[in-house]
Structure 1
Amino acid sequence: MGSNNGNTSKTHFAINAKIILLSFLFLFLLLLIVRSTFPSSPQLSPVPSSSTELTVQAKAQDTAPAVDCPTTAAAAAAAAAGTCTKTPPSLAQALVHYATTNITPQQTYDEISVSLRVLAKKSPCNFLVFGLGHDSLMWTSLNHGGRTVFLEEDKAWIHQITQKLPTLEAFHVTYDTKVTQADNLMKLREEVECKAVTDPRSSKCELAHKGFPSEVYEVEWDLIMVDAPTGWHDEAPGRMSAIYTAGLMARNRESGETDVFVHDVDRVIEDRFSKAFLCEGYLTEQVGRLRHFTVPSHRARSGRPFCP
């Protein structure tokens, strides 16, 4: 009996020792797994102050390393591989401006969407806008990092708008045409001088506007929006010259193409002059009162007719 009890005790001891050893091995392996899964010195992130910040941080962790928002086209190109986590100042200003005003832009949502699609592909770019209005800050913000210039006939209106929005780049221009001259000016489409592609300042066509600031002629504009000058009464200058000059600048660029938009094409002048001088063959689409033309460089291919 004593011998059997001794053997039984030895057997239990051996079994317990094996269990303890296996437990230590299991714990050791578990420790190795945990250490390989988690960094030894984790970096603690600050607690977001709002659900919005939490969402931004979560998205930022799933993308490339964050960089500051670019403020120029060069900076935008340099930061193309990064992720902007700051709201651009111009966009922030636009959000606050439109959230605190009950004045709506001159164009409808569908009309704005046409230009927005082009800007989404081309910005930051050079964007020339005939007319300074309640939508000007929007256009500048949508072309963030590019250059957006406004040409306005009313000097007092420029002062009023730029006092509130001093970051806008606007130039005062004058026009020597009137709406009542539209029929006679339309006849110029058959003149050789008005089919010649050149710098508007050296053009012999009566429709070419020669009084813009020199830098307007020296920049190759990627987008041009014709939403001015005034054209709804007989003594107004009308958009005859603006439409023709926009088309001439587009054709005179060294290469590539220019997207030209004309608003208010429900009116006779905008309708007829855009078809005649921007050409129905270059018409890309029309939404509501907005027409979109894609005008190629005529300098890049000699012998191209004024209209296709």
Structure 2
Amino acid sequence: MNEYIEIKFDGGIADKHQVSVRDLGRSLVHLQSAMDRAYLDVKHGKVWKHARLSGVKAFQETALIVGEPEKGSYLLKMFQSPDGKKGTIKRIAKALTAPFKAAQNEAAVLGYSLENQIANTRNALHHKQIAVRKFADLVKEPDEAIVRVYGDRSISKEVDQILIAVRKNPGVKLTLTFEEGGKSIFEFDAKTAAAFHRLVSHRALGGPVLYRGELRSLDRGPKQHRNYKGRFINADNGKTVTLHIFSQEDYDFLAPHIRTGDFDIIAAPIIEHDAFDPVGGDIQFLGLSKK
């Protein structure tokens, strides 16, 4: 078994060559999740939101075998199983390369807050400065702002969860090594981990799209005065997506339409880390269609 993933903790949380179950457990769970997302991307040529492994073979092909802890602050190596699918570990390293380099260079996250983007898009729609696309056109020709495949975002978000312990503990370092036909090493300190988080969690709105479907539910959340969510069944593909609802006024516009059949809304794809799954990605409510 020559293919492996190695995780190394340095600093305070690895005192006496030991780490807490919480920090290690979270790291292993999200490394396995990154492995699963990479496997789906390699196998199908893409990975979609909420996709999960199915069948015994898929779990065999994504298994990581934990080796003995090695000397160091705390170093653990996980080997790909003999049944592992080729290219999976390499796919994780590929997804991390661009955001890691940007984080090292402290690349700025450009753009306005989501609230300002919603207001600007609505103003442009009101003054007919931008056109509303059909959903079928979005699938065929994705928004120009979506420059990264969704698999990269999906994998990077899992690794970002591993870095929580690093971001919260100055002086701690975490090194991830991926070996499959070549070695890729990513070393994170608190500063790099924080920059990585800003990059992979940044959200932006795509252009407005006409969606037709049924509003299955609305959820105000506990003691929230805005940023509600709904579940919207897209009539074009039968997929249920999360519909983000910014204000109480928006919520009141939508409430009469719960489970009343198909109707038209204008919404914008929520692009995270320059990626969006057009089939099942989250969308931001902008208004009811006047057609």
Normalised-by-shorter TM-score class:
under 0.3
Structure with the larger helix share: 1
TM-score (norm 1): 0.26
Larger Rg: 1
Alignment TM-score, normalising by the size of structure 2: 0.27
Question: Which has more strand, going by share of residues?
Answer: 2
Q: Which has the higher contact order (CA 8 A, sep 6+)?
A: 2
